[in-house]
Amino acid sequence: MLTAIIVAAGSSRRVGFDKLFADLLGKPLIAHTIAAFENAACVDEIIIVAREDRHDELRSLAGAKTKAIIKGGEHRQDSVAAGLMGRGASEGYVAIHDAARPLVTVKIIERVFAKAQETNAASSAEAINDTLKRADVDLVVKESVDRHQLFAMQTPQIFERSLIEDAYRAVFVKNLRITDEVSAVERFGRKVALVLNDDFNFKVTYERDLKLAEMVLRARAS
């Protein structure tokens, strides 16, 4: 059993409007995200965590696999915790995905799930290719950062359910702030395998990203 939790409760402060409902090739951005998980044969059910004022719109976009749309929390980790406590299966595996990554494919969902079944914890990731620098508060370069064995985390991140539940329980007991589930499991002392993804799977953060996402989707369609 694989339950997908799509995290869609953000405020989109950096882009200035609700990017999840921005038009992307004639559909709301989040519709592309939901469709990928609806079309993945390995996904049994979907839980969407979102702001309450968007629930009605999301119901119109959800497919047969979507079992619940629930209210998110103040921070991302609060929303994921709400999803874990939602009306999903009580066993099996959990895939957690940022709704703002509409370029996710069925292929990467299936690859990450296969690895998670081997290792109990896996995440989509991309190797860092840019030169990295560390700067001070005035944005003056201080030093170079060796990019060897550095990877940018993506989603989906998939875990055996009891593992991610225990890791999240530890996060809240210790009052930690995390930005993704790999961090929770890592702090819990467990290992996470990376599945390198050479396809586009970036998070739409700025308005310019919408144009790039549209280009990718058009190229895939052709």
Q: Average pLDDT in the 71-89 region? A: 88
* DSSP count for the chain of H helices, then E strands: 7, 11
Q: Average pLDDT in the 168-181 region? A: 93
Q: Give the pLDDT band (50/70/90) at residue 90.
A: confident
Model pLDDT, residue 11: 63
CA 150 vs CA 50, 123, 128: distances in Å: 31, 14, 6
Q: Structure tokens of 32? A: 């592309």
Domains in the chain: ranges and CATH: 2-209 (3.90.550.10)
Q: Average pLDDT in the 120-139 region? A: 95
CB-based contact 20:8 (threshold 8 Å): yes
Q: Average pLDDT in the 94-116 region? A: 98
CA 152 vs CA 27, 45, 128, 189, 222: distances in Å: 28, 27, 6, 20, 28
| Statement: residue 87 has pLDDT above 90 | no
CB-based contact 105:36 (threshold 8 Å): yes
Span of 19-33, 39-53, 82-96, 155-169 with lowest mean pLDDT: 82-96
Q: What is the pLDDT of residues 188-218, one digit of tens each?
A: 999 999 999 999 999 999 999 999 999 999 9
Q: Average pLDDT in the 35-63 region? A: 96
pTM of the entire structure?
A: 0.93
| Best CA proximity match to 53, nearest among 112, 116, 11 | 11
